[in-house]
Structure 1
Amino acid sequence: MRRLFAGLTAGAFLLVSTACGSSGGSSSKAGESSGGITTVKVGLIPIVDVAPLYLGEKKGFYEKQGLKLSPTLAAGGAAIVPGVASGQYQFGFSNVFSLMVAQSNNVPVKAISNGVASTGSQGQDFGAALVKKDSSVKTAKDLEGKKVAVNTLKNIVELSMRASVKKAGGDPDKVSYVEIPFDQMPAALDKGQVDAAMAVEPALTTIKDQGGREIASPLVDVAPDLTVAMYFTSTRYAQQNPDVVKKFRTATAESLAYANAHPDEVRQIVTTYTKVPASVLAKVTLPKWPAEANRASIEAQEKLGQEFGFFKKTPDLDTLLP
């Protein structure tokens, strides 16, 4: 059995393990140019979810706040957390559950802005559990004894996959969860390296184009209108740079609203930071980008996390959330 916090130090974008300690590491300040523009490094995942930030940068929403984004791509939120905690990044994008796991391990993180939400519709969400067309797996219960790809361990993807298995009458502990980045899931499933993949867009559509078959909508199974991810910083950076955090929050709110209102521009901007063809992106199911997080859905994640034994101690949502 892997250690509970393995997901925060694993993957292709491995970060120094000392960043996972309780000290919070360095508070590394953002760089400021002579023009008064503050450059902030942001840890992101190459998925549709983060399109609003790229759109906001393109539309000048961040520049209007005196900020310039410097994105760095990683495999998942669990890999980004230690980078933010150590000061490698000023901000990061992570699923909410990874932030809860981090906090329960004394990693000093603070969510500052909403990120992305599920559509709430079974079979029509931006995340899904998929198998090959000829697979014998019909429901999530059939995944017992099978290998399922998740982008990082002990995060919202594994949590939601467990929720779907449980809902279907199966035992989540009898499933083998394999860590594979989203963009590598289509190939891994096609080659038979795993029996199923819990993928989000655009990997979800890529798998369907390969003939993949959807068996569950795990994010929807966790809670209605699930808050999936948020933008965050370290508690130390938030305390030392409140003005920068406020500017980032303001620009991000404008970016989320713009993305919700301009789906065609969302699909186009994704081609600038992923290798997914425009023909595939035209078919992807877009998530929701609400202005505020859904507290009830985050509490549902916390309850499942406790049930599955993911926490060393109960997360303090009042401290973690904006």
Structure 2
Amino acid sequence: MSAVLAPTTRRQFLTLLGISAAAVSCGTATAGGGSGPSGSQVTTLKYQGNVGAVTLPELAADLGYLGDLKLEWVGNTISGPQDIQSAATGQIHFGGAFNGAIVKLAASKAPIKAVVSYYGVDEHAYSGYYVLEDSPIRSARDLLGKKVGMNTLGAHSQALLDIYLSRGGISKADAAKVEALVVPPVNTEQVLRQKQIDVGVLGGVLRDKALAAGGIRPLFSDYDLLGRFSAGSYVMTQRFIKENPDTVRTFTTGVAKAIEWSRSTPREEVIARMTEIVKKRGRNEDTATLQYWRSYGVGETGGRIQDKEFRLWLDWLADRGELKQGGLKPADLYTNEFNGYGKG
């Protein structure tokens, strides 16, 4: 059966991402609770996961790095912007997304702060833009009038597509002729092979699995364009951070420790641990793709956040006319205060 495409316009996406202050305030009861160091703090964090994958908080919990802090899974998501919107409105306690999406949400006055990086780009963990082996697409100009499938619009994949087109000498007017479509990551390979799209964005285990099957080739990757960098962060509301500083410190430092454990532990052992975690949670998930895992791709030690990781996307969004130049500074968007790993 053919996978169903979900075309979404950029305007529709940005409308979805923009939330009002009223929406934020009315949802924070769930994500609030706790009253600082002298009072009781939240000890169970609600979150969304990913099908067939192990997130860093899940890994940290299994390794015992979260201490008495518990995680409560409320469902899965394939969209970073949706995840951080759910965190901002109090449906979950933390959410993760591409740093550009965090910038956009913060610009809409959502009171959020990034606390730790959780994914990035390196020689093992990257998103590639793939075409069929016999595709005529060889350059940025060849993309005009073509369809590019990605997990969500207005986020990491579309940002890198814009950068590729710009570096290829494509004007903004011509770049608008490249059609970005939402395709669930698990369906991207199938949709590309069925020629429903011309280019498919594939990353991590799904990328390696597709490459192993043959018949596709890379057009470019985010690693080709920007090298190694942290690309996404976990966010919490400022209110939650203020009321639950010890919880935030335990969470952030635990995630940081899990990042470094995944770097220093033999790959086969990491995969075995992840496979065990997926099986134990009993969600009827396929663990086959875990065999292709190589790295979370986080750039800095312990996922500590740097100005440059937000500056890139502040400039990108300003160039697109979606943000006022200088309206936000990187320091407005994140804090390393609660990350106890690698301080100094």
2:32 is the counterpart of 1:2: no
Once the two structures are superposed, the pairs formed by residues 78-93 of structure 1 within 5 Å of their partners are 78-93=81-96
Q: Distance in 2 between the 1:257 and 1:59 partners?
A: 12
Once the two structures are superposed, the pairs formed by residues 68-83 of structure 1 within 5 Å of their partners are 68-71=70-73, 72-83=75-86
Structure 2 residue identity aligned to 1:59: L
**Measured at CA, do residues 77 and 54 of structure 1 come closer, stay the same or move farther in structure 2, by a change above 3 Å?**
same
Q: Is the 8 A contact 1:77 1:93 kept in 2?
A: yes
Encode CA deviations 1:194-227: one digit per residue, 9 max, x unaligned.
1111222122123323422111012541x33222
**Measured at CA, do residues 8 and 277 of structure 1 come closer, stay the same or move farther in structure 2, by a change above 3 Å?**
farther
Encode CA deviations 1:144-176: one digit per residue, 9 max, x unaligned.
211111211111111012112222333432211
Q: Distance in 2 between the 1:274 and 1:187 partners?
A: 21
- Normalising by structure 2, we get a TM-score of 0.78
Distance apart, 1:264 and its partner CA: 2.6
Instruction: Report what 1:149 is aligned to.
Output: 149
Q: Distance in 2 between the 1:116 and 1:164 partners?
A: 21
- Match of 1:174, SS state, is coil
Q: Is the 8 A contact 1:112 1:233 kept in 2?
A: yes
Q: Distance in 2 between the 1:297 and 1:47 partners?
A: 28
- Match of 2:232, SS state, is strand
Instruction: Report what 1:293 is aligned to.
Output: 305
**Measured at CA, do residues 284 and 139 of structure 1 come closer, stay the same or move farther in structure 2, by a change above 3 Å?**
farther
Q: Distance in 1 between the 2:14 and 2:208 partners?
A: 25
2:57 is the counterpart of 1:53: yes
Q: Distance in 1 between the 2:63 and 2:182 partners?
A: 35
- Normalising by structure 1, we get a TM-score of 0.83
**Measured at CA, do residues 302 and 264 of structure 1 come closer, stay the same or move farther in structure 2, by a change above 3 Å?**
farther
Q: Is the 8 A contact 2:150 2:200 kept in 1?
A: yes
May I ask how many residue pairs the two structures share in their alignment? 303
Q: Distance in 2 between the 1:168 and 1:266 partners?
A: 39
2:189 is the counterpart of 1:190: no
Structure 1 residue identity aligned to 2:45: V
Once the two structures are superposed, the pairs formed by residues 164-243 of structure 1 within 5 Å of their partners are 164-171=164-171, 172-210=175-213, 211-221=215-225, 223-243=226-246
2:75 is the counterpart of 1:42: no
**Measured at CA, do residues 287 and 254 of structure 1 come closer, stay the same or move farther in structure 2, by a change above 3 Å?**
closer
Q: Distance in 1 between the 2:297 and 2:132 partners?
A: 27
The CA RMSD measured in Å over matched residues stands at 2.8
Encode CA deviations 1:226-269: one digit per residue, 9 max, x unaligned.
22111111222222222221221121111111111123343335
Unaligned runs of 5+ in 2: 1-7, 35-40, 336-344
The structure with the largest alpha-carbon Rg is 2
Q: Distance in 2 between the 1:309 and 1:199 partners?
A: 28
With 196-205 and 154-163 compared, the bigger mean Cα shift is at 196-205
Q: Distance in 1 between the 2:250 and 2:165 partners?
A: 41
Instruction: Report what 2:121 is aligned to.
Output: 118
